[in-house]
Structure 1
Amino acid sequence: MTTEAAAQIAAVPDHVSLRFGPYRAVIGTSCASRESALSLRAAAFRNGDADTDRFDALCLHGCVTKRTDTALVAFRARLIEDPDALADSYTGQNYDLSPLHRMPGPYLELGRFCQSSGPPDVTALRLAWAALGVLVDRHDIRMMIGCSSFSGADPETHRAELAFLHAHHLGPKALRPNRASADAIDLPDGPASPTGLPQLLRSYLAMGGWVSDHAVLDRELDRLHVFTGLPVDAIPAPRKARLRALAQAAQTSPLDLAPAAP
């Protein structure tokens, strides 16, 4: 990265930059972070074709790299202050989020979270969450929201995992989103297993997250997703402490990651 590009990134108020050994996590609006994220998104969601939409201009773009500019983990994050703006979020296209008005914001919408092919790089994933924790603290985020997706839009392929979510991880009835999509299906009952849960969803659930009582088929991306909510206050204290310590160890600028961050 050139000195000029680095200066441009540093000028962005919501820029986050963490280094941990050979790893670097960046969240911001710079061309460098956005292009690295879009490149991995294209591979993960579109078989190499461009993956962009109107929400990209409203979001910060994050990626984690190791020694090169090639992203190991990528995502986008949108800060939402006003509950009324939830309806115009990416998640709000598929779910009626009006019940979340009972949960005070601000909110952070996390989307297009993906990782490079091959075995998960645990350090890269943890650093991504540590960087997101900086945003959570900086903006006093009260709840993280998003769509956690399964690869493949056939519900029968994911029946055991969906039944597991239905049995163990439904959100509070008063907060669960209502249906807003013609492609919504109820989470099933029956034999349940967590074996095939996506990595992002596992992370959410381990931190106290919950899901909607229905899933939505995304035929365009050949995915099936569930709404996922994570109240920051629900994150276990030990996990907060571990990610806080990682963020502090990886800081390249003085940031105060409070215990409330994930």
Structure 2
Amino acid sequence: MLSLRKGRYRVRFAETEADLEAAQSLRYLAFRAGSADTPQVGRDKDAYDTACAHVLVEEVKTEQLVCCFRLMHLSDGAEITQSYSAQYYELSALTSFDGPMVEMGRFCIHPAYNDPDILRVAWGAMTAYVDREGVEMLFGCSSFHGVEAKEYYDAFALLRDRHIAPKRWLPRVKAPSVFRFASRLRRKPDLKLAQAKMPPLLRTYLLMGGWVSDHAVVDRDLNTLHVFTGLEIKAIPPARARLLRGVAG
């Protein structure tokens, strides 16, 4: 079981069909609602939901669901073709990874909430799970809102310069529509703009030593650009690990 309470928030696994439906409704609000031709209420669901554990972050006082994500546990890299990410990235390099892996997916925060403690508590819960289960790598798709790459040129240039995956793990192109930022961009990044445009989840991955694919997938279904993101647990800086375990404890 996963159970964590910090300040205004508590974290737990979804236990009922109603819990899962609440997560799917929040995902819909975060990923699909907003455009004039899209219903404002619905559920975002897919075939991977049944293979995952779903994590809920709730405000204690109101019981409002403020954040959710799902976890797919893999025994090692040989199972990575079962992952959601494998639809979009050619991941054969990672099949040789020898250790437990977890795909973290559909991470979203309620658009009405702008409290950085939500992300902090979510990562604290992930840390507790990783330690308990002996996970050696986290991975997933980190999303930029919208499909216009030019809005994120500085962020992509920073990823190109500092955060491309090691060659031994580098994902290859599989999706039909991609933006090859590592080879196409020639600009020097404006660091302030790059950080401002970087999604919070991805920013946290990078602070912990995470890395990304050399291209972004254009996902018109969810209206996002996303990069494959990996994090080897042993690469997390000790000071950062202590902070995370402080929240997890």
TM-score after normalising by structure 2: 0.89
User: What is the CA distance between 1:31 and its match in structure 2?
Assistant: 3.1
Tell me which residue corresponds to 2:103: 109
User: What is the CA distance between 1:101 and its match in structure 2?
Assistant: 2.5
Partner letter of residue 139 of structure 2? I
2:52 matches 1:55? no
Answer yes or no: is the 8 Å Cα contact 1:167–1:189 preserved in 2. Answer: no
User: What is the CA distance between 1:79 and its match in structure 2?
Assistant: 0.5
Partners in 2 of 1:44 and 1:21 — Cα distance?
Answer: 24
Partners in 1 of 2:221 and 2:109 — Cα distance?
Answer: 20
Tell me which residue corresponds to 1:90: 84
Q: Per the alignment, in what secondary structure is the counterpart of residue 245 of structure 1?
A: helix
Matches within 5 A, 1:169-184: 169-184=163-178
Answer yes or no: is the 8 Å Cα contact 2:21–2:43 preserved in 1. Answer: no
Partners in 1 of 2:55 and 2:213 — Cα distance?
Answer: 26
Tell me which residue corresponds to 2:180: 186
User: What is the CA distance between 1:68 and its match in structure 2?
Assistant: 2.5
Tell me which residue corresponds to 2:241: 240
- Of 9, 18, 22, the match for 1:36: 22
Tell me which residue corresponds to 2:38: none
Answer yes or no: is the 8 Å Cα contact 1:36–1:70 preserved in 2. Answer: no
User: What is the CA distance between 1:90 and its match in structure 2?
Assistant: 0.3
Tell me which residue corresponds to 2:133: 139
Answer yes or no: is the 8 Å Cα contact 1:150–1:223 preserved in 2. Answer: yes
- Of 8, 24, 27, the match for 2:13: 27
For structure 2, list consecutive stretches of 5 or more residues without a partner in the other structure.
34-40
Partners in 2 of 1:126 and 1:33 — Cα distance?
Answer: 22
User: What is the CA distance between 1:243 and its match in structure 2?
Assistant: 1.8
Partner letter of residue 201 of structure 2? L
CA deviation profile, 1:121-165 (whole Å, cap 9, x unmatched): 122211111111122112211100000000001112222211111
Partners in 1 of 2:108 and 2:13 — Cα distance?
Answer: 14
CA deviation profile, 1:166-191 (whole Å, cap 9, x unmatched): 11111101211111111122112313
Answer yes or no: is the 8 Å Cα contact 2:141–2:227 preserved in 1. Answer: yes
Indicate how the Cα distance of structure 1 residues 225 and 17 shifts in structure 2: closer, same or farther if over 3 A, else same: same
For structure 1, list consecutive stretches of 5 or more residues without a partner in the other structure.
1-14, 249-262
Partners in 2 of 1:189 and 1:30 — Cα distance?
Answer: 50
Partners in 1 of 2:12 and 2:65 — Cα distance?
Answer: 10
Partner letter of residue 21 of structure 1? G
Residue correspondences, number: 234
Q: Per the alignment, in what secondary structure is the counterpart of residue 5 of structure 2?
A: strand
Partners in 2 of 1:32 and 1:244 — Cα distance?
Answer: 30
Partner letter of residue 125 of structure 1? L
Answer yes or no: is the 8 Å Cα contact 2:25–2:42 preserved in 1. Answer: no
Partners in 2 of 1:104 and 1:199 — Cα distance?
Answer: 29
User: What is the CA distance between 1:29 and its match in structure 2?
Assistant: 4.3
Partners in 2 of 1:232 and 1:182 — Cα distance?
Answer: 31
Indicate how the Cα distance of structure 1 residues 40 and 242 shifts in structure 2: closer, same or farther if over 3 A, else same: same
2:208 matches 1:214? no
User: What is the CA distance between 1:84 and its match in structure 2?
Assistant: 2.5
Answer yes or no: is the 8 Å Cα contact 2:55–2:68 preserved in 1. Answer: yes
- Of 158, 165, 181, the match for 1:164: 158
- Of 115, 122, 127, the match for 1:128: 122
Answer yes or no: is the 8 Å Cα contact 2:78–2:96 preserved in 1. Answer: no
Answer yes or no: is the 8 Å Cα contact 1:210–1:228 preserved in 2. Answer: yes
The CA RMSD over aligned residues, in Å, is: 1.5
Q: Per the alignment, in what secondary structure is the counterpart of residue 194 of structure 1?
A: helix
Partners in 2 of 1:32 and 1:134 — Cα distance?
Answer: 25
Tell me which residue corresponds to 2:228: 227
